[in-house]
Amino acid sequence: MDVDNQIAKLMVELSRSQDYEIGDGTTGVVVMAGALLEQAERLLERGIHPIRIAEGYEMASRIAVEHLEHISQKFDFGASNIEPLMPGGSIVLYGKNTVSNVCLTPYLARILVNLDHVNRCKRHLAEISVKAVLSVADLERKDVNLDMIKVEGKVGGKLEDTELIYGITVDKDMSHPQMPKQIEDAKIAILTCPFEPPKPKTKHKVDIDTVEKFQTLRLQEQKYFDDMVQKCKDVGATLVICQWGFDDEANHLLMHRNLPAVRWVGGVELELIAIATGGRIVPRFQELTPEKLGRAGLVRERSFGTTKDKMLYIEHCANSRAVTIFIRGGNKMMIEETKRSIHDALCVARNLIRNNSIVYGGGSAEISCSIAVEAAADKYPGVEQYAIRAFADALDSVPMALAENSGLQPIETLSAVKSQQIKDNNPHYGIDCNDVGTNDMREQDVFETLIGKQQQILLATQVVKMILKIDDVISPSDY
């Protein structure tokens, strides 16, 4: 995003920090920071020092985070049965003009339901997201390595053709068209050395003045290729995946020796293949041993439509923890939007596995925190209590935005829900965005992760404190 204003740049960084840390809640954190700055401006006009406002905000953020912990609930799940997770949990969406309730899994994050193509097969994407995360999750350590989930897309087909592959896809094909397209029980040699004769490190020149010398040079080159292919065959490899290319002679030799090969595979893909197949990346042919070969139950080349696009599927790997989500769509924009949606889904899934505490959405958590912070303000004798009350008012900005985006009267709706929370002492009342008929978010199954909500409040408070301590911005163009 190209932003000139220095404070706006901080807001962009704030959203980026939330995305890196949590992967979700980027809109909410900016809304919160904007509301805190708006309240701080009013306090500054009343003559309260910025340091006092910052201290008050810090106190209020601690109260809000502790209160979120108090009203949170544990969400129990297991890897064996995912069906109860599917159409139960719901997540609130902050949209441009819409706030929607996605009746999916608590693992499925904020799928962009204002996009019809994603909304159409949200159940299918939910299942894929759940299975992908549970495939790579270490539930004992409560950790998920998202690097093990590769998200690939190819234009063509329809979104319903999106699939989860228990293995790796490589956007390459066999180096020779006559090589076999399917290999079962493959033993894979993963190489970072090229199939070509060694080249001197220094500048060199070869003078050939007779046919015999040329023939000798050609035979020597052929012997190099023969030795390389033979080393791969001797260790039992049935497929060679090489980071570099090889010329037509090497390719022809590989085909005749019945050794399928794939060339020009990227470094990141090589690492994923090595992790998935349990193989080792080999930098020199001399180091190739049977123990360093990767193993896969099935390697197949797949063609798409009438185009000549081909991809390599490496499935049923020795280490099935590496998976690929392969997205299909009618155009590039559709695929990119779906990728972003699935990325958010995977991030929220990771957060739930790290900490399975949830708070209810629809603005209910913010309203409850606002009431708690407002009540705690009276306990502080200094001018900080004004900042604490301002923090409580800023918390109301999120439910007000939800009500406004849903076509409701913001002030009336917020006042009614807040009074209902105080009257019934129930922190689960929020904004009924979808006009279901009840404000109880527990009944509507609208919730989000506790750590995501806490991170929003903490990050927004930190950035606003930093902005309050800025006296002036000096631009180089002014001098």
* Distance set, CA 146 to CA 272, 342, 385 (Å): 12, 12, 43
CA count, 13 A, side-chain hemisphere, 471: 0
- The CATH number of the domain holding residue 416 is 1.10.560.10
The number of folded domains in the chain is 2
* Average pLDDT score over residue span 359-377: 91
Find the helix or strand (DSSP H, E) in which 336 lies. Answer: helix 332-354
Q: Summarize pLDDT for 11-40 with one digit per residue, the tens.
A: 888 888 888 888 777 888 999 999 999 999
* Residue 190 DSSP SS3: strand
Q: Give me 441's structure tokens.
A: 């978010």
Based on the domain organization, do 302 and 384 belong to the same domain? no
Based on the domain organization, do 173 and 303 belong to the same domain? yes
In a domain, 120, yes or no: no
Task: Identify whether the C-beta of residue 269 lies closer than 8 Å to the C-beta of residue 281.
Answer: no
* Average pLDDT score over residue span 244-258: 83
Based on the domain organization, do 363 and 432 belong to the same domain? yes
By CB atoms closer than 10 A (0-12, 13-18, 19+), residue 212 is exposed
Based on the domain organization, do 173 and 286 belong to the same domain? yes
Count CB atoms within 10 A of the CB of residue 129: 27
pLDDT at 201: 72
Which of 301-310, 318-327, 349-358 bottoms out in mean pLDDT, i.e. has the lowest?
A: 301-310
State which amino acid sits at residue 377.
A
301-322 burial, b at 16+ Cβ within 10 Å, e below that, comes to beeeeeeeeebbbbbebeeeeb
In a domain, 41, yes or no: yes
Q: Summarize pLDDT for 421-453 with one digit per residue, the tens.
A: 999 988 889 888 878 888 888 888 788 888 889
Between strands 294-303 and 239-242, the pairing is: unpaired
Q: Summarize pLDDT for 171-201 with one digit per residue, the tens.
A: 888 888 888 889 999 999 999 888 777 777 7
Q: Summarize pLDDT for 105-161 with one digit per residue, the tens.
A: 333 333 333 333 456 677 788 788 888 888 888 877 888 888 888 898 888 888 888
For CA atoms 359, 363, 366, 368, give the dihedral sign.
Answer: negative
Name the residue range of residue 406's domain: 6-75+359-469
Q: Summarize pLDDT for 80-92 with one digit per residue, the tens.
A: 555 544 544 433 3
Task: Identify whether the C-beta of residue 159 lies closer than 8 Å to the C-beta of residue 328.
Answer: yes
* Average pLDDT score over residue span 242-258: 84
In a domain, 218, yes or no: yes
pLDDT of residue 232 exceeding 60: yes
23-38 burial, b at 16+ Cβ within 10 Å, e below that, comes to bbbbbbbbbbbebbbe
Query: If you average pLDDT over every residue of the chain, what do you get?
Result: 82
In a domain, 11, yes or no: yes
Based on the domain organization, do 276 and 390 belong to the same domain? no
Percent pLDDT > 70 in the chain is 88
